[in-house]
A and B are shown apart, each in its own frame.
Chain A
Amino acid sequence: MGKRTPLYQTHVDAGAKIVDFGGWDMPLHYGSQLEEHQFVRSGAGVFDVSHMTVVDVSGSESMAFLQKLFANDVGRLKEKGKALYSCMLNDQGGVVDDLITYYLGPGRYRVVVNAATRDKDMAWINAEAASFDVEINERPGLAMMAVQGPKARELAATVIENQWRDAALALKPFYGLEAGELFIARTGYTGEDGWEIVLPEAMAVGYWQRFVDAGIRPCGLGARDTLRLEAGMNLYGSDMNETISPLEAGLGWTIAWDPADRNFNGRGPLTAMRESDSRQKFAGLLLEGKGVLRDHMRVVVEGLADGEITSGGFSPTLGRSIAMARLPAGDYGSAKVDVRGRMLDARVVKMPFVRNGKIQIEL
């Protein structure tokens, strides 16, 4: 038996197929992953993401600490509630984890890291924190759910207490709000509008039920994965890891090079890599014909070194197979993928594949 979120029994009662995810018993789907995917693209879905790790950072040196810990610069967070996506790097410039940080006020930050990486993340964060005046508070008593889709905010707002509703609806993308016992943020991992909501464990089942009653459909981690793949959003462990830098994972935009004197972990090796023109690039692939691209399949570009698919699957919105891949440097528009022994044609495309319900590439 794995670890269970406060919503475990609710998922079982709803007929969820439960799978192990990083040591947690989580819902894969509640009957049909494809239907759940479409529901988020066209309506609203709710995901239990309580397995994710919430860490509150406070103290006089919080900002300086996070400025060393993260490749993106929390110094950019000036407005209360503003969120920042970043990688946390090791000294070699490899990715320890990717995360979102919210600025809650002077000397106060909330960091949300992945579930499967929790132990090593906490060890790394605590070790790094030793030389700063900061307090690290992991918050295992909190649950988290994501309501996502074009109708998600409108429907979820009916469940939010009156005194917070207007402020929650007024949130701009990538901002969060402390709303009493709830923390509501206009963020997500699907390429659609919506909220991620952090709340005390004891309130999780009640809110989940009210969201469902409001017409938001329960969605499992299966749909979450196909949605994020279409949205061109990286998955830690698949698209990057401790031996892959953000530069090789399409995450160069998350590295804040300025100011030049901000000496974040991994900056030296990353700078050397940035100046090399032989490093691999990261791009999307669209399979031209029938079949399904999968993780770790070999990509062949004529005259160049082989590449590898880091995340592959079937895109329900496109009705075609798509993938993210690490590819050899160079300018080319097509490649071949070794799909179970057959070399199939794929087009190299710029991600995302889908954003806000609309297909972003030419089919």
Chain B
Amino acid sequence: MSELPGDLEYTEEHEWLRKEDDGTVTIGITDHAQSALGDLVYVELPEVGQEVESGGEMAVVESVKAASDVYAPISGEIVAVNDELADDPERINADPYGDGWIVRVKPTGDDANMMDSFAYQEFLDGLEE
């Protein structure tokens, strides 16, 4: 099993967040999520400028197997989306923590309680039992 990047935060919905220097937050789905979904074939992205609410629908990732909603882990404004995913959704499979990022959000509220890599690993281990 691949090691989880230590500089990211994680949610129980298998999303990762990276706090950028400019105060924005980059969001994607974890390696566990892409592996469970299988090869991705389509990603539906939000519009730049759109407001998202923590827990609300933010994007849809569709694999050969199923469609899966990606929920916003924080509230804020979408400031960038990964347009490359439109033609190449498999980037999420190949590099979930890098080229496979999904959106960048300018947060408007406080942080919800995210997990660090150790807590998320424990959470994953718990799922396998």
Contacts and interface: CB of A to CB of B under 8 A. Distances in A.
A28 B42 contact: no
B39 A292 contact: no
B112 interface: no
B39 A33 contact: yes
A340 to B, nearest CB: 7
Contacts of A310: none
Nearest to B38: A33
A269 B27 CA distance: 57
Contacts of A290: 42, 44, 86
B42 A33 contact: no
B38 A292 contact: no
Contact of B42 (A222, A226, A314): A314
A10 interface: no
B52 to A, nearest CB: 18
A222 B60 CA distance: 21
A291 B42 contact: yes
Interface in B70-124: 86, 90, 93
Most chain B CB neighbours (cut-off 10 Å) among A32, A33, A313, A314: A314
Interface in A336-356: 340
A17 B93 CA distance: 15
Interface string B22-41: 00000000000001001101
Interface stretch (B1-9, B10-18, B61-69): B61-69
Chain A interface bracket (under 10, 10 to 19, 20 to 34, 35 or more): 10 to 19
A291 B86 CA distance: 11
Contacts of A321: 42
B39 A32 contact: yes
A51 interface: no
A222 B39 CA distance: 10
A222 B38 contact: yes
Nearest to A28: B38
B64 A340 contact: no
A77 interface: no
A292 B65 contact: no
B45 to A, nearest CB: 11
Nearest to A37: B64
Contact of A222 (B44, B65, B67, B90): B65
A294 interface: yes
Contacts of A17: 35, 38
A225 to B, nearest CB: 9
B1 to A, nearest CB: 12
B64 A226 contact: yes
Contacts of B86: 290
Interface in A126-175: none
Nearest to A292: B62
A223 to B, nearest CB: 9
Interface string A57-79: 00000000000000000000000
Contacts of B44: 290-291
A34 interface: yes
Contacts of B39: 32-34
A314 B67 contact: no
Contact of B67 (A33, A34, A294): A294
A340 B41 contact: no
A313 B41 CA distance: 10
Contacts of B41: 34, 292, 314
A29 B64 CA distance: 11
A28 B67 CA distance: 17
A8 to B, nearest CB: 19
Most chain B CB neighbours (cut-off 10 Å) among A226, A292, A340: A292
A29 B42 contact: no
B105 to A, nearest CB: 23
Most chain A CB neighbours (cut-off 10 Å) among B41, B44, B66, B93: B41
B64 A314 contact: yes
Nearest to B86: A290
A313 B64 contact: yes
Given A222-B64, A290-B44, 16 more contacts: A17-B38, A32-B39, A32-B93, A33-B39, A34-B39, A34-B90, A222-B38, A222-B65, A290-B42, A291-B42, A291-B62, A292-B41, A294-B67, A313-B64, A314-B42, A340-B67
19 contacts: A17-B35, A17-B38, A29-B38, A32-B39, A32-B93, A33-B38, A33-B39, A34-B39, A34-B64, A34-B90, A226-B64, A291-B62, A292-B62, A292-B67, A294-B66, A313-B64, A314-B41, A314-B64, A340-B67
Interface of B: 35, 38-39, 41-42, 44, 60, 62, 64-67, 86, 90, 93
